[in-house]
Chains A and B, each alone.
Chain A
Amino acid sequence: MSVETRPPQAGESYATSPTVRSVWRSGRGIALVGVLAVIAAVIGLLIGPDRGPARPLDPDDASLSGSKALAELLRDRGVTVDRVDSVAAAAAKAATGDRVLVITDTAYHDEFALTAIPGDRLIVGDLLGLPVLAPGVRMEPDFARPRSREPACGLPAATAAGSAYLGGPVMRGPAGATACYPAGDGHLLVRFTHGGGVTTVVGDGGFMTNQRLAEDGNAALALNLIGTGKPVTWLVRPDEPPALDLPGEQGRSMHDLMPGNIRWAVYMAIIALAVTAFWRGRRLGPVVAERLPVIVRAAETVEGRGRLYRARRARGRAADALREGTIDRLVPRLGLASGAGRHEVVAALAARTGQDPQQLGAVLYGPPPDHDAGLVALAGHLDAIERQVIEP
C-alpha cells in the first residue's frame, strides 16, 4: 500500500523554556507588589502598638477582655496599682504595708504561698485553689449565665453600685458572710472576714473588663470593691509561663544534656533534606497530558438491565423476554409469518413436536412463574422445545 498523504511536519526546533529576562519581565510587577506588601507589613509592625495575645483581666491590657480602664480609673483616684506576676513579688509588695490583693489567675501560682500574704483580697472567678484561698466558700454545681443582676443585699459597696454584669459559678459563703447578687440556690458575690482581712469572691470578672466597665454599675462595683484607698497588688498570669521541663537526675533536663552540636546538625539536616527534595522533585520536562477515548463496554447496558431484573426479582418480565425470544426464533422455522398468533404457533408446534398443545400453550403463553425455581424450569422447557424444532 503506497501512502502519499502525510501528517504535517514542521521544520526547525525552538526553545520553549523562559529566559531569565522573560521571567523578570513577566514577574516584575508581581515582585514589586510583593516587596511593597512586605515593606508595609514591616512598617506596620514597627509603628503599631505592641499587641500580644489578649490577657484577660490584666491591668496593662487595653483589649476588650483586659482591665486597663479599671486600673486607670483607680490611678486617677490616687490608688496605687502594682501589677505583679509572681507570688514572691506580691509578698514583697505586701511587706511594704497594708494592701489589697486582686487575684485573677492562679494557674501558675502556689495558692498556699498566696494564703500567707496578709491583707484584703478580691478573688475573681472560679480559680484553682479557691478552697485554700477562701475556706468555707462552697461552689454549687449550678452555673449562672452572665447578665445584669440586682445586688439584693446589704453590702454598701454593692447597693451603691446597683445592678452589675455578673455570672459564673453559684457560691455559698461560710457562716457570717455577706452574700449579694443572688442566682439559683446561692449568690455570685460573697464577702467574709478571713485571716485578718476581708476576702471577697466574685463568680466572674466580666464586669471589670474594658468591654463591660461602662455598663450598669460595673465601674462603681469594681471601684467599691478594690478602691478602698489602700494600694492595690494585682496578681496576673505570668507573662512567660515556666517551662514544663521535667528535670532528670542531678537536676539536669534533657536540653542541658544534649551537646550543642546537635541543634546545628538538625539545621544542616533540614538543609540537606531541602537539597535532596529539590533534586528528586525537579521534573525532567513537562507532564504530557493526553485526551484518551472513553472505555465503556457495549454490554454494560444489558448487564445493568439483568441486574435490575435480579434486584427486583422481575420474573414476569424475564419470563416474557425468554418466551418472546424463543417464539421469535421458532416462528420462521415453523414456516409461519412473523405476525403469527398464539393459536397458529401452538398448533404448528404441536404438529412438529407431537407434544400436547395444552402443555405447549402453558409453556409459551402461560402465566409468569411465581418463584425462581419456576423460572428455571420454564427456561428448561423453552430450550427443550427449541431443540426439538431445530434438531427433530
Chain B
Amino acid sequence: MALTGRAGLLAALGIAVVLFAPRPGAALAGVCLLLAAGILVDLAFAGAVRPLRFHRSGDTLIRLGQRATVELVVENPGGRRVRGLLRDAWPPSAGATPRTAAIDVPAGERRRIVVTLAPTRRGDRSSAAVTVRSVGPLGLAARQGSHQAPWTVRVLPPFLSRKHLPSRLARLRELDGRHPALVRGQGTEFDSLREYVVGDDVRSIDWRATARRNDVVVRTWRPERDRRVLIVLDTGRTSAGRVGEAPTPMAGAAPTGGGLLAGPDALPTPGWPRLDWSMDAALLLAALAARAGDRVDFLAHDRAVRAWVSGASRTELLSSLVSAMAPIEAELVEADAQGMVAAVLSRAKRRCLVVLLTDLNAAALDEGLMPVLPQLSSRHLVLVAGVSDPRVAAMAGRRGTAEELYDAAAAEQAQLGRRRITARLRRHGVEVVDAPPDDIAPALADAYLALKAAGRL
C-alpha cells in the first residue's frame, strides 16, 4: 500500500480543525477516523495490481550509442479500472526514459507504454521489475505491487572503426588483383598465366607454357585463401585501464566540462577501457579477414576462457563476434598467460595467425607471456597488438618547469619500457603493433594486410 499527497493534505487540514474546534480531543479522534476510513475505502476499491499481466516487445539488440525502444503492454483482467503510476525499472546504465508513466487501464482492456533506452555501456541490460501503484477512488491511498516482466536488451560494441573498412578492402582487392609481386611466398598459391609485360620478374616466366605459345608467359600468384586467424583478447587487469577519449559517453564517467572541477587542474575524462579499443580493432580485423577469405576464430581469456567463437560462416561472423564480445568486461585479475597459450594451442591445431590484443606492459608481459611465448611462436605466427596511452605520450613531451620534467621523465621511462619489450618481442619473431587508441584498428588492419601481401600467413 501507499499513501498519496492528498492524504497528507487532509491530515494537515486536520491540524487547523483541531486548533479551532471547541473540543480538540474529539476533533482529533474524528479527523483520524475520517482519514483512516478514507484510506480503507481507497484500498478496498482500488483496482487490483496482482492480476495485471504484462507483455513486452521491441528491440533486443542495439549497438552502443543507439537507442532501443521497448514496448510494454499492460493488460488488466480484473474487474476494476487501474489508475495510477507505473515504473518500468531498468539498471541505471540502461538510461531508460520515462522513469514513471501515468496509466489508466479500464477493466478488461490493455494499454501500451513505450520505454526508450539509451544505454551508456556494453552488455546485457535486463528489466529489473515493473511496479504499479493503483490509486483508489478518493485518491487518498493506493495499492502497490511489483511484477517481473523479463526483457533483455543486448548492447553490442559500436564497431566505430568500420569507417576504415572500405579503404582497407580496396587495398585488399588491389592486393588480390595485382600480379601479386610475382614472388612466390609461403602463403601464396598459383593464380593464372598471363603474357609477359616489361618489368615483370624474369624468374616468374613459365617456360613450359611459353614453349607451347608464341608469347612469353608468366605465372601469377595470389595470396593464399582460407588461412586461419585467431584473435585472442586479453581481458585481464591491464585491459581495464582507460585511455584516449570515449567516442560515446560511458556509464560512470565524470561529466565533462562545467562545474567546479572544470579548469586546468581538472582531471581528464577517463576515456574508454583498453578492452573496448581492442574489441574495435578486433572487429575491423575480423571483417577484413573474412572478406579476404580467411577463417576467423575469437578467444577472450583472462584466468579462464571468457568467450570462444569458432567456425562462424563468413556472413554471420561479425554478428556472432559482437554478440560474444558484448557481455565481456575487464576482470581485475592478473591474466594467466600460460592458460591462455594452452587454450590457444588446444584450439588451433593447424598453423594460424594468432593476434594477441593485450597491453605492452613490460612488467606484466615479463611475468606472464614472455616465458611461454616460444611455445606459441614455434607453431603459429604471433602478432601482439597493444593500445598505447596518448596521455603518456603528451606527458613525455612536457618541458618547462622542473615539476613537468619529472612527469616527462616518468613518461619517458614508461615509453622506454614499452619500446624495449617491443624489441624483445620482435627478436622472438613476433610482429608487434603499438598504436594510440584512435589508430589501433587501422594499424592492426594494415599489419594484417602487410603480412598477407608478404605471403607470411
B-contacting residues of A (Cβ < 8 Å)? 1-10, 12-17, 19, 260-265, 267-269, 271-272, 275-276, 278-279, 282, 284-286, 288-290, 292-303, 305-310, 314, 317-319, 321-322, 324-325, 328, 338, 372-373, 375-376, 379-380, 383
Say whether A285 contacts B129, CB under 8 Å.
yes
Chain A residues, CB < 8 A from B315: 2
Q: Whose C-beta in chain B lies nearest to the C-beta of A317?
A: B409
Q: What are 30 A-B contacts defined by CB distance under 8 Å? A: A1-B318, A4-B316, A7-B124, A13-B53, A13-B130, A13-B149, A19-B50, A262-B19, A268-B28, A272-B11, A272-B14, A276-B12, A285-B89, A285-B130, A285-B131, A286-B146, A288-B129, A292-B251, A293-B251, A293-B252, A293-B330, A294-B330, A295-B253, A298-B359, A298-B392, A302-B407, A303-B407, A310-B406, A318-B410, A325-B416
- Contacts A6-B60, A275-B7, A286-B129: A302 and B414 contacting too (C-beta < 8 A)? yes
- Once the chains are docked, how many angstroms separate the CA of A267 from the CA of B26? 12
Given contacts A272-B12, A295-B242, A379-B405, contact A7 B154 (CB under 8 A): yes
| Contact A272 B15, beta carbon cutoff 8 Å | yes
Complex Cα distance, B407 from A310, in Å, reads: 8
| B402 interface neighbour in A288, A292, A376, Cβ under 8 Å | A376
* CB-defined contacts of A306 to chain B, threshold 8 Å: 395, 406-411
For A264, the chain B residues whose CB sits under 8 A away are: 18, 24-25, 27-28
Q: Is the CB of B85 within 8 A of A284?
A: yes
A13 touches B54 (CB 8 A): yes
How many angstroms from the CA of A328 to the CA of B55 in the assembled complex? 65
Instruction: State whether the Cβ of B240 lies closer than 8 Å to any Cβ in chain A.
Output: yes
List residues 373-417 of chain B with CB under 8 A from any CB of chain A: 389, 391-392, 395-396, 399-403, 405-416
Contact of B145 among A17, A276, A307 (CB under 8 A): A17
Contact residue among A9, A319, A379 (Cβ-Cβ distance under 8 Å from B150): A9
* Residue in A10, A12, A17, A305 whose Cβ sees the most chain B Cβ within 10 Å: A17
Q: Is B166 an interface residue (CB 8 A)?
A: no
CB of A324 within 8 A of CB of B416, answer yes
Cβ–Cβ contact A284 & B131, under 8 A: yes
User: Which chain A residue has the least Cβ–Cβ distance from B20?
Assistant: A261
Bound complex: CA A85 to CA B368 (Å): 87
- Expressed in whole angstroms, the Cα–Cα distance for A25 and B444 within the complex equals 63
Asked if A376 meets B401 with Cβ closer than 8 Å, knowing A10-B150, A303-B410, A305-B413, the reply is yes
B319 and A286 contacting across the interface, CB-CB below 8 Å? no
**Residues A293 and B240 in contact, CB atoms below 8 Å apart:** yes
13 more A-B residue pairs beyond the given contacts A3-B61, A15-B145, A338-B423, with a C-beta to C-beta distance below 8 A: A4-B319, A6-B154, A14-B148, A15-B146, A16-B147, A17-B144, A275-B8, A290-B93, A293-B240, A299-B392, A300-B241, A321-B409, A321-B416
Q: A2-B319, A284-B133, A285-B131 are in contact. Are A309 and B406 (CB under 8 A)?
A: yes
A88 to B322, CA, bound (A): 96
Q: Which chain A positions have C-beta within 8 A of B410?
A: 302-303, 305-306, 308-309, 318, 321
Residues of chain B with a CB closer than 8 A to A301's CB: 414
Q: Are B316 and A296 in contact (CB under 8 A)?
A: no
Given the contacts A310-B403, A373-B402, A288 and B15 also touching, CB distance less than 8 Å: no
Quick one: which of A5, A265, A269 contacts B24, CB cutoff 8 A?
A: A265
Q: Do A375 and B402 have beta carbons less than 8 Å apart?
A: yes
> A284 to B144, Cβ gap below 8 A?
yes
Candidates B49, B128, B268; contact of A286 at CB < 8 Å: B128
CB of B35 within 8 Å of the partner chain: yes
Q: What mask results when residues 130 to 145 of chain B are scored 1 for a CB within 8 Å of chain A, else 0?
A: 1101000000000011
In contact, A271 and B148 (Cβ under 8 angstroms)? no
Interface of B is mostly: mixed
Query: Are B53 and A279 within 8 A (Cβ)?
Result: no
Interface string of B18-49 (1 = CB under 8 A from A): 11110011011001100100000000000001
| Bound: A307/B127 CA distance, A | 45
Q: Which residues of B contact A (CB under 8 A)?
A: 2-5, 7-8, 11-12, 14-15, 17-21, 24-25, 27-28, 31-32, 35, 49-50, 52-55, 60-61, 85, 87, 89-93, 100, 121, 124, 128-131, 133, 144-154, 240-243, 251-253, 267-268, 270-271, 273-274, 315-316, 318-320, 322-323, 329-330, 332, 359, 389, 391-392, 395-396, 399-403, 405-416, 419, 423
CA distance A51 to B93 in the complex (A): 60
Q: Given that A288-B128, A290-B92, A372-B402 are contacting pairs, would A9 and B147 also be in contact in the complex, using a CB cutoff of 8 Å?
A: no
Contacting residues, chain A, for B242 (C-beta < 8 A): 295-298
Residues on the A chain within 8 Å of B128, using CB: 285-286, 288
If A268-B11, A376-B401 touch, whether A15 touches B409 (CB-CB below 8 Å) is no
- Give the chain A neighbours of B403 by CB distance below 8 A: 310
A244 to chain B, nearest CB (A): 27
Contact A290–B91 (Cβ < 8 Å): yes
CB neighbours (8 Å) of B329 from chain A are: 293
- Is the pair B405, A318 in contact by a Cβ cutoff of 8 Å? yes
- The smallest beta-carbon distance between B239 and chain A, in angstroms, is 10
Known: A7-B153, A282-B3, A297-B241. A318 touches B409 (CB 8 A): yes
Complex CA distance for A376 and B404, rounded to whole angstroms: 9
> Which of A288, A295, A299 is B391 in contact with, Cβ under 8 Å?
A299
Give the docked Cα–Cα distance between A322 and B149 (Å). 61
Q: Which residues of B contact A278 (CB under 8 A)?
A: 2-3
A372 to B404, CA, bound (A): 11
A292 to B409, Cβ gap below 8 A? no
> Which residues of chain A are within 8 angstroms of B31 by Cβ–Cβ distance?
268
Give A279's nearest chain B residue, CB to CB.
Answer: B3
List of 8 A-B pairs having minimum Cβ-Cβ separation, nearest first: A298-B241, A285-B131, A264-B24, A372-B402, A272-B11, A318-B409, A306-B407, A306-B410
Whole-angstrom distance between the Cβ of A277 and the nearest chain B Cβ: 9
- Beta-carbon contact of B24 and A17 below 8 Å: no
Question: Please, which residues of chain B bring their CB within 8 A of the CB of A321?
Answer: 409-410, 412-413, 416
Q: Give chain A residues whose Cβ lies under 8 Å from the Cβ of B399.
A: 376, 379-380, 383
User: Complex Cα distance A14/B3, Å?
Assistant: 24
Asked whether B406 lies within 8 Å of A318 as measured between CB atoms, the reply is yes
Which one of A16, A271, A325, A376 contacts B396 once the chains associate, using CB atoms below 8 Å? A325
